[in-house]
Amino acid sequence: MDDSHSELAWLRTLLNSMEDALFVHALDGQILECNAAACKRMGYERDEFLQMRTHDFDAPDFSADFDRRVQVQLARKNYRFEGVHLAKDGTPINVDIHTTLIDYRGQPAILAVMRDITERKRAEFERETLRTRVLQSEKLESLGVMAGGIAHDFNNLLMGILGNASIAMLDVPEHSRIRHCLDQIESAAQRAANLSQQMLAYSGNASYSLKRADLRQLVQDAAPALSASIGRQHRIECRFDGEALIHADEVQLRQAIMGLVSNASESYGDCDGVVTVTVRTEHVDHEMLRLHHIVGTITDGTYAVLEVGDSGCGMDERVLERIFDPFFTTKFTGRGLGLAAVIGIVRGHRGAVSVSSTVGKGSTFRVYLPAAVSGAVQPMRPAPRAHSFGKTILVVDDEEIVLNVGRHGLERAGYNVLTASSGADAIEIFRERHEEIGLIILDMTMPRMSGEETFRALREIQGDARIVVSSGYSRSDAALRFDAESIEDFLQKPYRTTELVALITKVFEQPPAIAAGQTANFQI
């Protein structure tokens, strides 16, 4: 054996001992040599490689850049870049490639050493996905806090409009032109109140009345209304795969479904189109959560899935980043919260949403709601009637307009009314006159002394004091703050005086919550 053969054998032994894959290829990509690591990683035999060019196992996008890389290589001796190879079975392999321009048997060639970085890329992707989800969650949280605060203040302002309009209506004849104007004011105020409720929904703090429900049945029942809400040239196809039991507020969830279906319908514009609504049960695992863009927080487990799909205009990445922002729309403005209300309702049900979309091909929204595993939620039994033990009511609120509405409305209904503009004032009044005060309407959010602090102080004066909590925030938010207390009921602002009187009447007709040792009507 001559020295050249001995040297070649030694070199091949050295190359085959390397853990990194190695190729020598001509400037046109023809494979001239490879090592054992390349064969093992890619799944090809050496003889197969020698019949191939790099284009044959480069991923399409990576292969398209081959000529440019060769030109760069000719301009410099060493070159480093990343790419994607496809193994014989089609598995993609991320590689870090270090190339050197060499002379191979008298012709220019490229020596390429490739390190498998697939695991590193997967870890980077997971870190980036986690970072994106954290940022999205933080954005939703901050916007939710802002939306909830605006809704609270907005509801207090609406109290003056809606409350005074309802009081004025009582003194206006049936056919008066003024009554028509008041009707318009009341209608506009109610629409504004509905928008405020959407903002509370976005914050995840809307009022929910959860009960056991079959998501499939809920969609079936809503189908006629859904069909009526979309364009005449569009139609809905419903697909069901068995029961999908959940605990849900059907009214709120129906609103979310309506929002998703309307959004899908609008993606077709004036063209014909089909909106598919699919319901199924699915087990969600870590791999699924890793691969999908999830808005909201869910963990491994079984979920009822509501999928709404279309083949309309689709969305690009810029739009996808903002679709759940309040008031964001690609259509004309003035359409309310849109998909922001949807994500708020879903979050309020401890669920999440994933979105996939391609421009020109359509979008698919998947809503994941925790599957019901416990027994049916038992409805509350009607409380037995009881006689009122007092008709003096203390209204506590830091907004003067709310106090005025409450006082006028209740006095017209025959009640004696006391008012307090702060927690401290309420405590002083109640300490002096608690024997004659039969009920307290207590604002949840006040400066200096909060509703919770005032509540505890009032109960120290009289342990069985009957208290109704009122707020521009939602019932569920109040439930979190008064979780361990006994509350008679909750009064959502803004309200009409007729609604106030109806609630007071109901509370006086039932036994005190504190007497039963549990809340009577304070349910989420």
Per-range mean pLDDT, top range of 134-143, 193-202, 319-328, 496-505: 496-505
Answer with the residue of higher pLDDT: 164 or 378: 164
CA distances from 414 to 169, 381, 400, 408 (A): 17, 29, 21, 10
Q: Give residue 440's pLDDT band: very low, low, confident or very high (50, 70, 90).
A: very high
pLDDT at 334 over 60: no
Neighbours of 333 (CB within 10 A): 7
The token duo for 171 is 């003194």
Burial bucket for residue 451 (CB in 10 Å: 0-12, 13-18, 19+): buried
pLDDT at 523 over 50: no
Tens digit of each residue's pLDDT (9 = 90 or more) over 279-290:
999 888 776 766
pLDDT at 207 over 80: no
pLDDT at 133 over 80: no
Tens digit of each residue's pLDDT (9 = 90 or more) over 12-32:
666 777 788 998 999 999 999
Q: What is the pLDDT of residue 446?
A: 87
Q: What is the average per-residue pLDDT within 419-426?
A: 92
Q: Give residue 386's pLDDT band: very low, low, confident or very high (50, 70, 90).
A: very low
Burial bucket for residue 237 (CB in 10 Å: 0-12, 13-18, 19+): exposed
Q: Give residue 148's pLDDT band: very low, low, confident or very high (50, 70, 90).
A: low
Query: In this structure, which amino acid lies at residue 89?
Result: D
Tens digit of each residue's pLDDT (9 = 90 or more) over 76-123:
888 999 999 999 999 999 999 999 998 888 889 999 999 999 888 888
- Comparing C-alpha atoms, which of 210, 156, 162 is closest to residue 190? 162
**Buried b / exposed e along 385-406 (16+ C-beta atoms within 10 A):** eeeeeebebbbbbbbebbbbbb
First to last CA, the chain: 89
Q: Give residue 7's pLDDT band: very low, low, confident or very high (50, 70, 90).
A: low
pLDDT at 257 over 60: yes
User: In the chain, what percentage of residues exceed pLDDT 90?
Assistant: 22
pLDDT at 467 over 80: yes
Answer with the residue of higher pLDDT: 206 or 487: 487
3-state secondary structure string, 470-512?
A: EECCCHHHHHHHCCCCCCCEEEECCCCHHHHHHHHHHHHCCCC
pLDDT at 426 over 70: yes
Q: What is the average per-residue pLDDT within 342-360?
A: 84
Q: What is the pLDDT of residue 52?
A: 92
Q: Give residue 380's pLDDT band: very low, low, confident or very high (50, 70, 90).
A: very low
DSSP for 447-460, please give it. Answer: SSS-HHHHHHHHHH
The token duo for 502 is 């109806």
Question: What domains sit in the chain, N to C, each tagged with a CATH number?
Answer: 3-116 (3.30.450.20), 121-202 (1.10.287), 211-370 (3.30.565.10), 392-516 (3.40.50.2300)
Q: What is the average per-residue pLDDT within 444-467?
A: 89
Task: Classify strands 273-284 and 234-240 as parallel, antiparallel or unpaired.
Answer: parallel
Q: Give residue 187's pLDDT band: very low, low, confident or very high (50, 70, 90).
A: confident
Please give the Cα distance from 502 to 182 (Å, whole number).
Answer: 21
pLDDT at 387 over 70: no
DSSP for 105-173, please give it. Answer: TTEEEEEEEEEE-HHHHHHHHHHHHHHHHHHHHHHHHHHHHHHHHHHHHHHHHHIIIIIHHHHHHTTS-
Residue with tokens 């392999």: 93
Neighbours of 491 (CB within 10 A): 22
User: In the chain, what percentage of residues exceed pLDDT 70?
Assistant: 78
- CB 14, CB 33: distance < 8 Å: no
pLDDT at 356 over 80: yes
Q: What is the pLDDT of residue 141?
A: 65
Q: Please tell me the least confidently modeled range out of 202-216, 242-256, 311-325.
A: 202-216
214 DSSP assignment: E
Neighbours of 108 (CB within 10 A): 12
Name every residue whose Cβ is closer than 8 Å to that of residue 214 and which is 6 or more positions away in sequence.
243, 244, 245, 246
pLDDT at 375 over 90: no
pLDDT at 149 over 90: no
pLDDT at 515 over 50: no
Q: What is the average per-residue pLDDT within 276-299?
A: 77
pLDDT at 317 over 60: yes
Answer with the residue of higher pLDDT: 230 or 295: 230
Per-chain mean pLDDT for the chain: 80
- Sheet of strand 301-309, all strands in order from the earlier edge strand to the far edge: 234-240, 273-284, 301-309, 362-370, 352-358, 294-296
Per-range mean pLDDT, top range of 46-50, 74-78, 491-495: 46-50
> What is the number of alpha carbons within 13 Å of residue 43 lying toward its C-beta?
10
